[in-house]
Amino acid sequence: MGLTTYKMLINGKWVSGSTGETFSRVNPANPREVLGKFQKGNKEDVDRAVDAAQDAFENWRLTPPPARGKILLKFSYLLEQEKEKLARTMTAEMGKVLKETRGDVQEAIDAAEYMAGEGRRLFGRTTTSELRNKFAMTVREPLGVVAAITPWNFPIAIPAWKITAALVCGNTVVMKPSSDTPICATRFMELLEMAGAPKGVVNMVTGPGGTVGSRLASHKKVRAVSFTGHRDTGAEIMKSAGVGKRVGMEMGSKNVTIVMDDADLKLALDGVIWGAFGTTGQRCTASSRVVVHKKVRQKFERMLVERSKKIAVGDGLEKKTEMGPLVNEAAREKVKSYVEIGKKEGARLVSGGSAPKRDGWFYRPTIFTDAESDMRICQEEIFGPVLSVIEAKDFEDAVDISNGVDYGLSSSIYTNRVQDTMRAIRDLQFGITYINSPTIGAEVHLPFGGSKSSGNGWKEVGWTGVQFFSEEKSVFVDYSGKLQKAQIDTDEKG
Ligand code: UN1
């Protein structure tokens, strides 16, 4: 069978890039399997897509939000119908196991459903005025053309977080997907079109971040950029975007699970294993550190090592597989180099630390112990199946270690003490805190985002997704029939 050549979506048409050049993508579990050819877009393609989105904006912003919501509801039904097929495509394209890719599609369905309902909310506020016969309220307005720069680790869910929120608010979109998951991105766009998104309302340009992504971020007509990915790329995007543009950043993290001395260790074991090795550790929310109370450290560590050795690593399409490959060669090289760094720093390798002898970018679940909080393996994002065990003297020490990183996306604690639970909720400097469950598994109707260098203050999904993609305009209606001056004319006497 010949190789399929995929196109880009600009102004309702599937087109080739202006250079005619293409790139390819292979299956990470079997790099000899080439999945397709994709358009290598450039600046001109971005400009065409932005112009199309700009042209489509006028009609889309005036389309009643409930009608926009209906398209999103239809989109959620189409995703539901396509769930199994899409999940299989995703596993072949980026490697995570089938039950997780099904979860990825489900997360997109959930986001689309939530945002469909927003079409009948998009709440502003009404409030009082300090003057008589004057009315004050806020209304939500779209921003205009927005850019979605999306990652490969949640190639359906994360585009859905961003794009369904953008659309219900009345924005038009240009998406630049990761070059590791262009098939998922293509199918995502096709389903949006089938759901009824008018031409130009959603566009997609594939190609290198350095040209397509940076042109999108710096484009004058783009009013907002929503990015999920590596912190260094995020910093570049911030620079390209310059001032006057809304930029939402979801970047890396160095998440933590605290296991206290009173914790249910079996429950904690399930949670830490899932948090650290689910998605092969390639989640922004993955637990790459486990901070264990000294009283249970040795016991818990033995349990972790024993379980980690049993994890079945392999092709995510096979039923027995529990952990798939890394997304690409560079990702595996990065993991390898951090394992060397960890050894040199003096942490003790107690599980994994090598790649199985087979094709594909596999790596064994890896655990370091005797790790110290200031080691690079405990500070830097590895984005792979590498977990470091750090011992804590007591609760305060555990919180200090947890907070002692530049990042702050997700945290969790296993304890049954109500005092420690409440203090953890108060003191952990992370955008998300879980009690007695792993650091992964956020739901789409609550804010998602991190503190410190994990983000820049904006959050995604739920009502915070709506806030990002809309301008809350203040409106004053004076029906007194005379000039009334706020702050100057007072009405103290009544
Ligand atoms: C990500 O890794 O960027 O909470 C997103 C979770 C998922 C989303 C992860 N619902 O792990």
- Which residue of 161, 253, 283, 287 sits with most ligand 1 atoms within 8 Å of its CB, as the best mutation to test the pocket? 283
Residues 247 and 306 in one domain: no
> How many angstroms separate the alpha carbon of residue 410 from the centre of ligand 1?
10
Atom of ligand 1 nearest to the CA of 440: 11
Residues 240 and 259 in one domain: no
Residues 189 and 205 in one domain: yes
pTM above 0.95, yes or no: yes
- Which residue of 327, 440, 444, 459 sits with most ligand 1 atoms within 8 Å of its CB, as the best mutation to test the pocket? 440
Residues 150 and 234 in one domain: yes
> How many angstroms separate the alpha carbon of residue 151 from the centre of ligand 1?
11
By annotation, the residues acting in catalysis are 284
CATH of the domain at 118: 3.40.605.10
Domain span including residue 234: 8-251+455-474
Q: Please tell me the total count of domains within the chain.
A: 2
Kindly state the tokens that stand for 398: 């555990």
* Whole-number pLDDT of residue 493: 57
Query: Which residue type, as a one-letter code, is found at position 197?
Result: A
Residues 283 and 239 in one domain: no
From first to last of its 494 residues, what are the pLDDT tens digits of the chain?
A: 689 999 999 999 999 999 999 999 999 999 999 999 999 999 999 999 999 999 999 999 999 999 999 999 999 999 999 999 999 999 999 999 999 999 999 999 999 999 999 999 999 999 999 999 999 999 999 999 999 999 999 999 999 999 999 999 999 999 999 999 999 999 999 999 999 999 999 999 999 999 999 999 999 999 999 999 998 999 999 999 999 899 999 999 999 999 999 999 999 999 999 999 999 999 999 999 999 999 999 999 999 999 999 999 999 999 999 999 999 999 999 999 999 999 999 999 999 999 999 999 999 999 999 999 999 999 999 999 999 999 999 999 999 999 999 999 999 999 999 999 999 999 999 999 999 999 999 999 999 999 999 999 999 999 999 999 999 999 999 999 999 999 999 776 55
Nearest CA to ligand 1 atom 3: 284
- 74-to-82, 106, 380, 466 alpha-carbon distances in Å: 12, 14, 41, 19
> How many angstroms separate the alpha carbon of residue 448 from the centre of ligand 1?
9
Cα-Cα-Cα-Cα torsion 299, 303, 309, 311, nearest 10 degrees, comes to -160
**Count of Cβ atoms closer than 10 Å to residue 429 Cβ:** 16
Residues 121 and 217 in one domain: yes
- Around ligand 1, the residues with Cβ closer than 6 Å are 107, 153-154, 228, 283-285, 440-442
Residues 243 and 125 in one domain: yes
CATH of the domain at 417: 3.40.309.10
